[in-house]
A and B are shown apart, each in its own frame.
Chain A
């Protein structure tokens, strides 16, 4: 009997090991990028061998990149943009969701339908006219221009609403009987108790905004306002002879933050993705 259990356990361990190896192969492009970011550009104009990597290993690419490109400015722009969007959406959605979760008022259904319709409008479709609006407002190359269109989000509003509605009704009743006003209930109970939702929303928004491409491409025209994605993309195909080593170095610098955030916040991100996404 015990032999069987042991056999079963070893089998399971071998299975896990094989799957981890498959996983490593699956994410191998990142390791390839990492390894070749330490190989000088000149060595990559011939087929690489194992010796190319070992013999030429150096951090020169990174030094060159830091000297020639304002990488920290790119990353700063990206982070500030993320922070503004996260704060704005959490504040705006947490307030508006409260109206939908706890009040009955005339035109509630109409307004709710408007939010649903807005969620169905693909972002790319309004990109052109939003760009014209932002330019007319003189907001090109500003943080406001980068973020203003993302201040309201149907998705975060829904997540807040769901979180509020899952709070026990008795709690609200008890608070009201004790003379707790609506606003006080919102700030003292509903929002603090929605912390898991806030984490999910923040992590989803962070990864989405940090990795955004089309909108920053349109709004950030000056290198001082490039986000890291735009800075990275400008490097690709811009030189007649590509500097692959330096490109890999910038790629690694632009991947590191979202990967760390993903690994730390994976559970919240998955909760946010799957909550209410699929029926059943």
Chain B
């Protein structure tokens, strides 16, 4: 199998601030690479370099077999880009938006209309094709934007935070569409700040923070890498939770995190479970829920970066300067 994207040592500075600090990246053909990170971590800058919109200060990248710096036109023939903002003309109808792109890509009038109709149908916009895009809901606009990036049937699709700002229903709809594209053999590079999204869609995940790759692997590997399992418990009487936490702490000798309802603690060996249960029973703590689970990607992110994914230092806007 060949790689759809192979980038090495990408560096980009904006006004002295380092947005990318030496990023290596590989996207397998036919797979979904999830680039995960908080605002300002360099996700958008990475996508803009790989889609030829931005020149890196150092490093190089091969996309679809072509060099982004030396053969940008060839790269553009391979890719589709859906940016953070729905980049459609609000005044134009859905059909007009798609026909315009198709005509630019060399379709004749008839082909362009046919392709536009096909895409509107596929993205559930067939009835809205004649209406200006400004009358669309947020989810519909994103779908039209995605359709626009697929007019030329690209083999590689960049999705830069495709679901930011969407309601859960629209988000699920978009996830379905992305899965469908992957089934058609499209390679997808997806950036997201939602760990859940990467977990759902990505075959491989790369975690970015402050312009560096913190870690990468499959979602499963990442969860394993945070190592431990998490023991979670609730007590019937909330007042007993702190007592329960002390007991668990004594057994696991790891700090217990309690939010007042649930106490959770990473454990290295599941053999501690019987011991925890025995001691809780001895102390007369009535447990309503006790479980052992893999850590969520949120917990993985916290463990790897020392801060949560939601903590915002600055935003990716600098990349647009």
Do the two chains belong together in a single complex? Answer: no
Question: Hey, which bits of chain A sit against chain B, CB under 8 A?
Answer: none
